[in-house]
A and B are shown apart, each in its own frame.
Chain A
Amino acid sequence: MTLTQDRAPKTSVRRLNRPDPRARSRGGQRFLLVGLVLASVYSLFPVWWLIVAATKDRTGLYQSNGLWFSGWHLWDNLRQVFTYEDGIFLRWTANSLLYAGVGSLGGTLIALATGYGLARFDFPGRGFVFASVVGSFMIPIALLTLPLYLLFSEIGMVDTPWAMLVPCLINPFSVYLAKVYTESTIPYELLEAARLDGAGELRIFFSIVLRMMTTGGATVFLLAFVNTWNSFFLPLTVLRGENNWTLNIGLYNWSGKRLESGVDLTGLVLTGALLSIVPMAVMMVAMRRYWKSGVTLGALK
């Protein structure tokens, strides 16, 4: 039905009927699993270390074994992170959520409309629009961000949330994904039938197309959200005052304080870093079924 249905059910049915040839040699399987376990240890131990570090006080952090607990100071650390400089960390979290949430929502809606327009209508200039979408993947961020900074400062947008939100609205990669999803989800016949029934184009888009694109739209939103949440160069450039900063810029600043003014905020930085992963983890788990297909689809088509 939709693109995002996993391949798994089909293959597992097939596998029930005949023995999995992969299960043939037990020793071979064990050898392969050892390789995967080693790779997983490499992938996971830094995250484990971060979790452990966030539970330690200063002495524990500097003196105990990094890979195991010593004392339980997580609540203390959290309180410190949230109260440092009048709770600026909470402000950064709210900013990040605002930019990533609202920016990606707007960007997804624009991308879905554009993708639908490109995939299901034939108008002069369509090829040109699509070519500029794909071509813009190659433009380095510095080439866009520096002149954007100058333009934004001309119109007084630097250092306001708009400087982060507006660029998020236009995301060529989202448009590209939306076009691919439309092509596989919205049949021409359906649109013709709706038109014969007298539905207007806007109505068709809002009440039929958008509804059928829930899965694709969720993937576009998720990837845009992750992208904005992780962004660093744009906020570093267009946000000067710390009240509008994102979590990333805040953490970057904290981690630089040691050299700048000799204040060691390592404990705060680590606990803050762990906290900044939490929304990402929640999002990823909640939308697992969507992003798995989105990551690979965007790359392979």
Chain B
Amino acid sequence: MIRSQRWKGAAFTVPFQLGFVFLYLLPIGYAVYQSLYKVQQSGLGLGGGTEEFTGLANYRQGLTDSAFMGSVLRVVVFACVQIPVMLMVSLVLALLLDAVTSRAASRFRILLLVPYMIPGVVAAIVWINLYSPDVGPLTAIGDAFGFHWNFFVPSMVWPSIGNLLTWHGIGYNMVIIYSALQAVPRELFEAARLDGASEIRIARSIKVPYVRGALVLTGLLSIIQMLQLFNEPALFRNVTPQTVNDSFTPIMIIYNQAFNAGNYHYAAALSVLLALILGLASFVFYRLTSREAD
């Protein structure tokens, strides 16, 4: 390639690079910088504060902040239940789609993708109203079958949010797993059938191992999303503020520290911590799943 062409090629990426510096690198640098300072109140706190360099003090505070670490633990425990359930359902649906005629498959694929097209806020609004004892049908249905459930009490709030996330997510995950399934060479199934393998055996021993990559990917995306859970609990908080308090998830704490407590420095430190936790969680997940594949 001629030298001048290389630079012209680089020029195509310049607008992006400038924007990336302004909208990604600069903010991250600014957050790290902010996280090293603290507002020190002078006197009685009436004269306003002065910013003082405090090094890693905000990070030390974050790591020992039981509300923050508790919220991290809360979403991690929740993720360990909800993500496997959601991926399992998605996998089963993808296998079902793969086993029916292609006409039926394309119809059901569209139907099952409908929730994915609904904005997250709207999905939360719909389910909160379905759960509501005043307007939603689920309480009446539960009563008819003898379950007197209340979806907003502390013990039910995670299952309620979990169901909402599962409903919203299975279509997308199913499509990814399904397209991975489509790439499996069909000859493998023929050969297995000739050897007398049942369809279930084929699904378990050929199809599932083949889509492991897609499962790892959807799992990773779900973990990243889960650690940043915000919209759904924020809307639940509108109905049941006693159960879903303002330190329910890590991002809710960060938002409140920044905008309600006005403590940007601490909020910045917590967001850097959350980024590190996210990186660590993804790394651990990736190592665990790729070791299994060997």
Contact = CB atoms under 8 A, between A and B. Distances in A.
Contacts of B241: 259
Interface residues of B, number: 102
Interface stretch (A77-85, A87-95, A213-221, A228-236): A228-236
A136 interface: yes
Contacts of B114: 43-44, 47
Contacts of A111: 16
Given A43-B167, A123-B7, A252 B189 contact: no
A205 B140 CA distance: 61
A121 B128 CA distance: 51
A161 interface: no
Interface string A197-228: 00001000100000000000000000000100
Contact of A146 (B167, B264, B279): B264
B199 A28 contact: yes
Nearest to A50: B126
A140 B72 CA distance: 14
B193 A113 contact: no
Interface residues of A, number: 98
A233 B230 contact: yes
User: DSSP majority for the A interface?
Assistant: helix
A143 B136 contact: no
A255 to B, nearest CB: 5
Interface string B3-33: 0011111111101110110111011101100
Nearest to A65: B137
A139 B24 contact: yes
A167 B23 contact: yes
Contacts of A139: 24, 28, 275
A296 B176 contact: yes
B111 A44 contact: yes
Contact of B97 (A11, A36, A258): A36
B27 A300 contact: no
Contacts of B112: 36, 39-40, 43
A55 to B, nearest CB: 14
Given A49-B130, A121-B1, A142-B271, 9 more contacts: A33-B104, A47-B114, A114-B15, A137-B224, A138-B275, A142-B255, A201-B9, A255-B128, A299-B214
Contacts of A35: 92-93, 96
Nearest to A141: B228
Interface string A128-166: 010010001111111110111111000000000000001
A125 interface: yes
A4 interface: no
Contact of A143 (B6, B93, B275): B275
Interface stretch (B40-48, B80-88, B116-124, B152-160): B116-124
Contacts of B238: 252, 255-256, 258-259
A117 B13 contact: yes
B67 interface: no
A100 B260 CA distance: 28
24 contacts: A12-B102, A32-B99, A32-B100, A36-B93, A43-B115, A46-B130, A46-B167, A47-B114, A49-B137, A114-B15, A114-B16, A121-B10, A138-B278, A142-B270, A143-B31, A143-B275, A146-B254, A149-B258, A170-B23, A170-B24, A233-B255, A255-B238, A277-B119, A280-B119
